[in-house]
Amino acid sequence: MATFVLIHGGGGSAWDWHLLAPELVDLGHDAVTPELPIGDRSAGFDAFCRAVVDAVGDRRDLVVVGHSYGAFTAPLIAARLPVRLIVLLTPMIPRPGEKPGDWWAATGYRGVEGLSEEEQFYHGVPADVVAEAPAHSREQVSAEGDEPWPLDAWPDVPTRVLVAREDRFFPADFLRRVTEDRLGFPPDEVDGGHSVALSHPRQLADRLDAYLRA
């Protein structure tokens, strides 16, 4: 049994994982869904890491999953806890010294025109789940957006990247390029859109479980 540490993306919350976590438990694993202190104007990367470490407690055999902006935090946990595997899901992959606010221009991200935020973020998610989402979104005012990413190099921990084939926010072609440019290997692919943990929770759980069995 592994413990999956599920780190939400920008403006998100533990709710983002509420469909995936039970599927991982059903497969015999544990799941931890920390809330990052994104509403605290003084909170930076160190505070983010403390929130994750506190949520993990004494659990071990850790697989850290960072969704979207959560990819800036996920690798940092490997410097504080014994991490077995890092999985980046539809991610913003950081570079050493890069400020999150600079990521967009540095990767050449051009945005998506003509689509609402709902269409970009929740494509393929059931309508009843989309209707719940606004109650669980949070304004992100924390300080890490202007902090250089603190690692000098990527952690010496096995890392996998999962892009979603129907992602309208970070299109698959864009993330394939960014992954190969920044990590030097191609990503894996899964069905679904940007919020794949809400649209395809069982398929995602099976893929995460398969990484451990490989």
Q: Is the pLDDT of residue 112 over 90?
A: no
Q: Is the pLDDT of residue 197 over 90?
A: yes
Per-residue model confidence as pLDDT tens digits over 124-152: 999 999 999 999 999 999 999 999 999 99
Q: Is the pLDDT of residue 213 over 90?
A: no
Q: What is the dihedral of CA 166, 191, 5, 182, to 10 degrees?
A: -60
Per-residue model confidence as pLDDT tens digits over 11-59: 999 999 999 999 999 999 999 999 999 999 999 999 999 999 999 999 9
For residues 143 and 153, give the distance between their C-alpha atoms in angstroms, rounded to a whole number: 22
Count how many residues are written for the chain. Answer: 214
Residue 141 Cα distances to 59, 77, 103, 173, 201, angstroms: 30, 22, 17, 30, 29
Write down the pLDDT at residue 62.
98
Q: What is the CATH number of the domain that holds 63?
A: 3.40.50.1820
Structural domain of 20? 3-213
The structural domain count of the chain equals 1
Write down the pLDDT at residue 214.
84
Cut 0.95: pTM above it: yes
Per-residue model confidence as pLDDT tens digits over 72-88: 999 999 999 999 999 99
> Which residue in 156, 158, 166 sits closest to 196, CA to CA?
166
Sign of the C-alpha dihedral, residues 68, 73, 78, 81?
negative
